[in-house]
Structure 1
Amino acid sequence: MSNASERLDIYENMLERSRAMLENARHQEWDALIQQRARYVADVEALRRAPQGEQLNAQERQYCARMIEEILEHDRAIRDQLDARCEELTQLIGSSRRQQALVRAYNQGQGMLSQRTRPSRGTEGHT
């Protein structure tokens, strides 16, 4: 296999992984997205290590450019999905904190109420 062909294969793998990551993000399959991302990073590293000796011809460069553009589009869409998820998690955390504060306030109120309704030690049994 030629160096150029090897690099194109890596770009094709990256494109397929970016498509899979986008689908994972759209379906909120976060664990699967992370697994695909790890493979994608390995592809990027393989591309970095791939020999650069043989140059791509014009048609291959054009094909490669189209793949890179699609990868970047997927990356933007994935980031949008992740931003939306972060916002959702931020709201859930805020809601959870408010709920915890209410529970604490309620429990403190219950403690104060039970102290008010207990007979004092000096008045027990003196009626």
Structure 2
Amino acid sequence: MSSDTELVAAVRRKLPLWNINGIAEYALFILPEFLNELDNSLKLLRKDREQFIRDLRTIPGLEIVPSQTNFVLCRLPEDSLSAAALKRRLVLRESVLVRDCGYQIMKDADRYLRLAVRTPLRTKP
């Protein structure tokens, strides 16, 4: 923190474009050696996400927001528990942790849950 705007500007010019930690920097450095593995992992994530979305769509009244990430945003039905109350129930009764979006600045934020796409248990053939 400084009121010296010239100093602040000089420091910002010296910062990397995206400030990351050493482990992340190393991972980016060796990434070209593992492009096939990365590609296979991303394909598997897409497959798992699409299956997860299909499974979620079987829940009556649950609205699924389209996703290209490793999580899915869902809007709970009006007549259901709030996202915070459902989160609490899932943790206490099922040991399932989800993120409620009540902290977000969006319309009806208390009706939304963010669910992580996880790799399902797979058995070897």
Question: 1 or 2, which has the higher strand percentage?
Answer: 2
> Looking at both structures, which has the greater relative contact order when contacts are Cα pairs under 8 Å and sequence separation is at least 6?
1
Q: TM-score band, normalised by the shorter chain? A: under 0.3
Q: TM-score, normalised by structure 1?
A: 0.25
Structure whose residues are more often helix by fraction:
1
Specify the structure having the higher radius of gyration (Cα): 1
Give the structure-2-normalised TM-score.
Answer: 0.26
